[in-house]
Amino acid sequence: MEYIKINKFEISNHKDAKERSILLQLENAINDYLTGTKIDLFEEMKSINVLLDLKNKFKTDFSQKVINSLIKIRPGESTTYSDLAKKVNSKAYRAVGSVLRNNPLPLIIPCHRVIKKDGKIGGFMGKMDEDWQINLKRSLLRIEGFMI
């Protein structure tokens, strides 16, 4: 929740009791996800009317295509940087990594589902050398049932 506030995401068009209700639903959805309930958090955000202004966060046509392709990868599935590039008619897999590095909602917009072509985990949240981030990516994949 703090991450959403820092990145200035508007939670809803409604304030007070309605917004508190949405925040509680969001918190419950994230807790359900983290405890192993099969849930697609991006779809859940839409269903509880959380506004995700992706066009404002991802301003280029390329980055919007990457994110729109990424959110179609379901829990328990994975893709590679090069396969994601192919899905947007590009060979620029490093540029795909740059888009994902700037993902303000890595749990909601599932960049953890993108792995290296050789099957290794790779970086997460823009970091390659931080063990905790790679372990977080591995944990999220396991929660979703993806075997590493």
Domain 58-143: give its CATH architecture. Orthogonal Bundle (1.10)
Known catalytic membership, residue 111? yes
**Rounded CA separation 141/119 (Å):** 13
* Residue found under tokens 């993806």: 146
pLDDT at 2: 59
| Per-residue tens of pLDDT for the chain, all 148 residues | 555 555 555 555 556 777 778 888 888 898 898 888 888 999 998 898 887 888 888 999 999 999 999 999 998 899 999 999 999 999 999 999 899 988 888 888 999 999 988 988 877 766 556 677 788 888 889 888 887 6
The answer to whether 111 and 70 have CB atoms below 8 angstroms apart is yes
What's the whole-model pTM score? 0.80
Which regions of the chain carry the CATH code 1.10.10.10?
58-143
- In the chain, what are the helix, strand and coil shares in percent, each to the nearest 5? 50, 5, 45
Scanning 54-122, the segments in alpha helix (DSSP H) are 54-57, 61-70, 81-87, 93-101
Residue of 70, 73, 105, 111 marked active site: 111
**DSSP one-letter code for 74:** P
Q: Which long-range contacts (CB under 8 A, 24 or more apart) does 80-88 make?
A: 80/114, 80/115, 80/116, 80/117, 81/114, 81/116, 81/117, 81/122, 82/117, 84/114, 88/62
Q: Please compute, for residue 57, the number of CA atoms within 13 A of its CA located in the half-sphere on the CB side.
A: 21
